[in-house]
C-alpha cells in the first residue's frame, strides 16, 4: 500500500474483493479466504461491500475482523428486504463507511424513495434509476463514466466497467472526481469480470499524477 492510498481525498478501489480469478493473480494461491480482505486492504483503501455479502451480525463481525483497521467501505443495497441490517452495519462502521450505493435498477420508484429516506443522513449514490426528481439531502447519482457527469453531491461515486472504459476516459473521470474531492466524498470503484488489479494500480497512478 502506498503512503497516500488512505490519505488521499479520492479513494479508488474495486466492487468486490472475492473474485475467484484474483486467486493466483492478485491473491497468493495459499492465502486463506478470510485473509483476502485484509490483503486487499494493504494495497487499496476502499471496497464495495456487494449486496450478496450478508451483513447480519456475523457478517458485520467478519467484515471488521478480516479488514484490518483502516479499510473503508461503500455498502451496496439492492432491495428493501435486508436494508435494515445493511444500514445498521453502515452506521456502526462510522467513518469507515463512506456511503451507500443504492442499486435502483430493478426497484419501483416508491420502494426506491422509501429506501432513500431510510438511508438519511448517510450519503447515498443512486445507481441505474431512469428518473429521480428529488434525491433529497445527501443523495446523488452514481456515474458510469458516460456522458456528462451528474451534479456534485455528498457522495461523488463513479462505478466503471474496466472492459468498456478507455485509459483516456478513466483519466477524465478521475479529473472530475478530484475536482470534487476537496468539498465532499469522492470514490472511484472499478468493476469487471473481474477488474484487473493492475488497472486499479494504474488508476491510482493517474490520480497521483494529476
Give pTM, 2 decimals: 0.93
Domains in the chain, number: 1
DSSP state for residue 23 in the 8-state scheme: B
Q: Can you give the pLDDT of all 210 residues of the chain as single tens digits?
A: 444 455 568 999 999 999 999 999 999 999 999 999 999 999 999 999 999 999 988 999 999 999 988 999 999 999 877 899 999 999 999 999 999 999 988 888 888 888 888 888 899 999 876 655 455 556 888 999 988 898 888 999 999 999 888 899 999 999 999 999 988 899 999 999 999 999 999 999 999 999
In a domain, 88, yes or no: yes
In a domain, 2, yes or no: no
**Whole-Å CA distances, 188 to 66, 118, 150:** 22, 24, 14
Element (H, E) at 171: helix 167-181
In a domain, 150, yes or no: yes
Dihedral angle over CA of 155, 156, 161, 165, nearest 10: -170
In a domain, 1, yes or no: no
Residue with cell 497512478: 205
Amino acid at each position: 500500500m502506498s503512503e497516500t492510498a488512505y490519505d488521499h481525498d479520492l479513494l479508488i478501489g474495486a466492487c468486490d474483493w472475492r473474485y475467484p480469478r484474483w486467486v493466483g493473480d492478485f491473491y497468493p494461491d495459499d492465502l486463506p479466504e478470510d485473509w483476502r480482505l485484509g490483503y486487499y486492504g494493504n494495497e487499496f483503501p476502499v471496497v464495495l461491500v456487494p449486496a450478496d455479502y450478508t451483513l447480519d451480525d456475523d457478517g458485520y463481525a467478519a467484515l471488521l475482523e478480516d479488514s484490518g483497521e483502516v479499510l473503508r467501505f461503500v455498502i451496496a443495497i439492492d432491495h428493501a428486504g435486508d436494508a435494515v441490517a445493511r444500514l445498521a452495519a453502515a452506521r456502526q462502521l462510522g467513518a469507515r463507511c463512506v456511503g451507500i450505493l443504492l442499486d435502483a435498477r430493478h426497484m419501483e420508484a416508491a420502494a426506491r424513495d422509501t429506501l432513500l429516506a431510510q438511508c438519511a443522513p448517510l450519503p447515498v449514490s443512486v445507481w441505474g434509476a431512469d428518473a429521480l426528481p428529488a434525491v433529497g439531502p445527501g443523495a446523488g447519482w452514481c456515474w458510469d463514466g458516460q456522458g456528462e457527469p451528474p451534479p456534485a453531491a455528498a457522495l461523488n461515486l463513479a462505478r466503471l466497467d474496466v472492459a468498456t472504459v478507455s485509459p483516456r476516459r478513466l483519466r477524465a473521470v478521475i479529473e472530475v472526481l478530484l475536482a470534487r474531492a476537496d468539498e465532499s466524498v469522492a470514490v472511484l470503484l472499478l468493476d469487471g469480470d473481474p477488474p484487473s488489479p493492475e488497472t486499479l494500480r494504474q488508476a491510482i497512478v493517474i490520480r497521483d499524477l494529476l
